Amino acid sequence: MDTYLLIILGFSVIGFIIVYKTVYWILSLRRVVPTNEVHIIQSSKSTHSFGKDTDFGNTYYLWPTWMPVVGVSVTSLPVSVFDLDLNEYEAYDQGRLPFVVDIKSFFRITDSNLAAQRVASFEELKEQLRAIVQGAVRTILATSDIESIMQGRSVYGEQFTKEVSEQLSNWGVNTVKNIELMDIRDAKESNVIHNIMAKKKSAIEMESRLVVAENSKKAQTAEIEAQREVDMQNQLAQEQVGKRTAEKEKTVGIATQLAKQEIIEQERTTKEKEMAVIKVAQIKQAEITKEVTLVQALQQKEAAVLKAEGERQQITIIAEGRLEEQKRTAEGITATGAAEAEAKKLMELAPVQAQIALAQEIGDNKGYQEYLITIRQVEASEKIGMEQAGALKSADIKIIANTGNPVAGVGTVMDLFSAKGGTQLGAMVEAFAQSENGKAILSKVGFRDHQS
């Protein structure tokens, strides 16, 4: 029984392992197509494309081709733009002149199923497209001369694109932009393009030299014409200057003679005026001397008067100043005395006014009056008590007070020294003698009753 269970368990483990391996192997066959690729799946019955934006999605299972029915083969092609270059491609023009060109083109697969039918791989597709481009380039360039090709690169790029587009449709491919003729140069051991460039260069140089010569000629002609105009202008200017100089000398000579005559006449007139002026000056000088003498005398007189007046005013001002000083001194003394008297008066009146104000306040305030009376009574009692204590101390009398407070007791003792005290003492002795004990005591001290 145990052997049977072991066998069943062993088969179960083997079955599980087989199932696990099978599932793992199936899952390992699953493929996810990248976004920039398309996978063409060829089965025994159909062909389908898998990738982004396709009808069958972007996942599939890569069953081996040896498996019947489900086995498939895969062709991977890019869906992104790819370029194709023809570098140093040798070509000929219509005159069989050799040269080398560089061509650049861009393509994109539009029908992946058709492309998969034409080629087995992407590299094979690129080789076929390169052959198509080479054929188109060779055919078109062979119909033109090399100078036209050098001058019309853009035109030939459009012709290349148009030529290959008809053929590319059979491969499921389209051009993205025009095929470009990047460069054209001489092939090995060929100087055709170099000679063309030299010819163009020499033609440009010749044209440049002709233009320079023509420009130099025009410049020299213009300079000669300008010099002639300058010479003519100089001669005309000299002629006009000569005429103008002669006229100027004539005018200057006449003006000089007239000026001399006018100067002589003016000198005569000036002499006459000078003599008249001298005469007038002499008369004026005499008048001025006379007036100056009078003015000086008047000034001396006025100076003496002003000096005397100044001295008088000075004496007056000094006297007035002294008088004013004395008056101010007297006023200051008077003011000082009045201030001192007023201050003394105020100092003397201050206590009186305070007492008057206090009396008025006390007269109007009953409570304050009672308060003052009480204070005065306390002060009086204090003084009386102190005086009584001093008197008793000096008399060496002992008092036993039966009153309610010591002050009242002291006040009773002090009555001994007054008329009232004497009367009360007599009454006390009389009352004391009325008792038996009192009589006995009084008889011992020598006091006798008048009745006995």
Q: What is the pLDDT of residues 29-87, one digit of tens each?
A: 888 888 777 888 878 777 777 877 777 777 888 888 888 878 888 877 787 788 888 88
Indicate if 62 and 143 belong to the same structural domain: no
pLDDT of residue 417: 54
Task: Say yes or no: 72 and 55 in one domain.
Answer: yes
Q: 46 and 111: one domain?
A: no
Q: Which of 37, 40, 25, 103 is nearest to 74 (CA)?
A: 40
Query: Any idea what DSSP says for residue 405?
Result: S
- Measured CA to CA, the distance from residue 2 to residue 15 in angstroms comes to 20
In sequence order, the β-bridge partners of residue 76 are 39
Q: What is the DSSP letter of 401?
A: -
Last residue of one domain, picked from the residues 44, 78, 112: 78
Q: Are 433 and 449 in contact (CB under 8 A)?
A: yes
- Asked whether residue 86 falls in the same domain as residue 69, the answer is no
Which of 34, 51, 78 marks a domain boundary? 78
Q: Of 78, 94, 116, which residue sits at a domain end?
A: 78
233 domain residue, yes or no: no
Nearest-angstrom CA–CA distance, 163 and 263: 113
Helix (H, G, I), strand (E, B) or coil at 419: helix
User: 3 in a domain, yes or no?
Assistant: no
* pLDDT beneath 50: ranges in the chain: 403-404, 406-408, 410, 452
Residue 361: phi and psi, rounded to 5, are -65, -40
The pLDDT tens digits of the residues spanning 395-430 come to 555 555 554 454 445 455 555 555 555 566 666 667
Same domain membership, residue 176 and residue 99: yes
CB 104 within 8 A of CB 190: no
Residue 123: its pLDDT value, please? 86
d(CA 141, CA 135): 10
Q: Are residues 113 and 182 in the same domain?
A: yes
Q: Per the domain annotation, does 310 fall within a domain?
A: no
In a domain, 257, yes or no: no
What is the number of domains present in the chain?
Answer: 4
Containing structural domain, residue 429:
418-452
pLDDT at 452: 45
383: part of which helix (H) or strand (E)? helix 366-395
